[in-house]
Amino acid sequence: MTENEKLLARREAVVPRGVPRVTTATAVKGRGAVITDADGNELLDFAGGIGVMNAGHCQEAVVDAIRTQAGELLHACFHVATYEPYVELAEKLATLFPHHREGGEGTKVLLVNSGAEAVENAVKIARQATGRPAVICFSEAFHGRTLLGMSLTSKVTYKMGCGPFAPEIYRVPFPNHYARGEGHTPEAFATRELNRLRETFQTVVSADDVAAIIIEPVQGEGGFVPAPPGYLQGLREICDEHGIVLIFDEVQTGFCRTGRWAAYEHFGVIPDLSTWAKSMGGGLPIAAVIGRPEVMDAARPGTIGGTYGGNPVACASSLATIRLMEELDLNTRAMEVGDRIRARFEALAERTDVVGDVRGIGAMMAMELVEGGDPHRPATQLATAVTLTCLENGVLVIKSGPSGNVIRILSPLVITDEELDRGLTVIEDAVLLHVGAGSEAAVGATA
């Protein structure tokens, strides 16, 4: 038995099967964009611990900040004693993500431990701010695995048998132009979908009962699907018209992934509340709700927070990670990384019609694999085979999308061009290998 196999066997014996195991990789050590497994093999990390390692594994500045803070104060509970790392991180986030309206000032920040917890708290805050119960969310959305997070999450396999789910959740189709565009331009499609949302207020739930609309500006687990142009602006207008709190879930999109601190910057729309986690902590568990002060302060004392929220060591890690992102200008790097991935995926799409769509913003790039170029025939098995072959060839890459047929790239942004190109070649070769072996799709079908 290899060391990898031994570790996996120990896992199987003691860890419940409900905890997803999406690859057979193991990890002992991480540096930059490389993970070393239990057998000493080096893997190029194209998954980044699901979007957490934008700034790279074990960056010295981050590890030093963690060590230093650990030697000073591990925990005090911010409810009990105020400590500076929490306040400093909140100040930094308020500067990076100002949420106040024109002419207004001040942005407030709540720190919690995970993306799901951030989502839970954003909804609690929106309900208190509006005095209304309902929340509108989207098909293919992913907002976490707490009960409310799961209730807002779309994909059934994430929530099977876990109900009853939280009430007053209303789901509308995400404006996925590739899957549902039906020949409309992205702009016309956005208008049609906004009109459908307005109809929802007549037929499904009254706008007067809606506390919040929550949306990922670019869906993550849903398959790296950006909202079409004009859609988020339209949502902003609808929310303003009806006094609804607009929440952007930036847990996967945030902190340089799309080439900006926030994906919403690409769309020119500022939400009332936003949720953050993953790469914000540089590897330690920390998350945030950021929002307009009048909305954030609507939450009554005692209704938000938690024992560990904004732990000092996690705050120090986050502050050091953000500093590093600034120093390395990871937003610019994300655009370069994204351009390189897009060019390679598009070139692959020229060679085989199984690559139905290449999409994303910045380094949040993906390709959707389909049968015969048909958006409605997901090539799920092919995508799985591709990820397995990649792992055998030293590249850790994961899928997303409701049918698990989207190959997504979440590599650290500090990845070198050489590493990126090498990993992309492994992915390309894996697709071509399996297409060549498959019956339905053929290499060169569109050439």
Ligand X SMILES: Cc1ncc(COP(=O)(O)O)c(C=O)c1O
Question: Which spans of this chain sit near ligand X (rule: CB under 6 A)?
Answer: 50, 114-116, 119, 142-144, 216, 220-221, 249, 251-252, 277
In Å, how far are 94, 193, 319, 403 from 180, measured between CA atoms?
36, 10, 41, 15
Give the nearer residue to ligand X in terms of CB position, either 37 or 249: 249
What number of other Cβ atoms are within 10 A of residue 106's Cβ?
Answer: 13
Considering the complex, state which of residue 293 and residue 306 has its C-beta at the smaller distance from ligand X. 306
Taking the complex as a whole, the smallest distance from the CB of residue 118 to ligand X amounts, in Å, to: 7
What is the 8-class DSSP label of residue 398? E
CB atoms within 10 A of CB 242: 17
Residue whose CB is nearest to ligand X in the complex, by number: 115
- Please give the C-alpha separations between residue 434 and each of 154, 379, 381, 420, 425, in angstroms, as whole numbers: 30, 11, 10, 21, 14
CA 109/CA 87 separation, integer angstroms: 9
Shortest approach of ligand X to residue 45 CB, angstroms?
Answer: 16
Secondary structure element (H or E) that encloses residue 361, with its range = strand 355-361
What string of H, E and C letters represents the secondary structure of 220-251? Answer: CCCCCEECCCCHHHHHHHHHHHHCCEEEEECC
> Which neighbouring-strand residues pair with 5?
none
Interatomic CA distance for residues 53 and 283, integer angstroms = 6
Q: Which is nearer to ligand X, 43 or 251 (CB)?
A: 251
Shortest Å, Cβ 221 to ligand X:
6
Q: Using alpha carbons, select from 117, 143, 148 the residue that is nearest to residue 309.
A: 117
Q: How far is the CB of 235 from ligand X (least distance, A)?
A: 16
- Closest approach, Cβ 138 to ligand X, in A, equals 11
Distance of CA 153 to the CA centre of its chain: 13
Chain length of the chain = 447
Residue 127 structure tokens: 């309900």
CB of 122 to ligand X, least distance (A): 10
Return the number of the residue (145 or 242) whose C-beta is nearest ligand X. 145
Helix (H) / strand (E) containing 197:
helix 186-203
Residue whose CB is less far from ligand X, 282 or 353: 282
The least CB distance from residue 104 to ligand X, in Å, is 27
Q: Which of residues 174 and 431 has its CB atom nearest to ligand X in the complex?
A: 174
For 300, which DSSP code? P
* Smaller CB separation from ligand X, 283 or 340: 283
To ligand X, the closest distance from the beta carbon of 371 in angstroms equals 27
50 or 432, CB closer to ligand X? 50
- Cβ atoms of residues 210 and 127 within 8 Å: no
Min separation Cβ 116 and ligand X, Å: 3
- Listed residue (322, 257, 328, 329) closest to 65, CA to CA: 322
Write the burial class of residue 71 (CB in 10 Å: 0-12 exposed, 13-18 middle, 19+ buried): exposed
Q: Residue 350 Cβ, how far from ligand X at the closest point, in Å?
A: 31
Query: Closer to ligand X at the Cβ: 344 or 359?
Result: 359
Nearer to ligand X, 124 or 143 (CB): 143
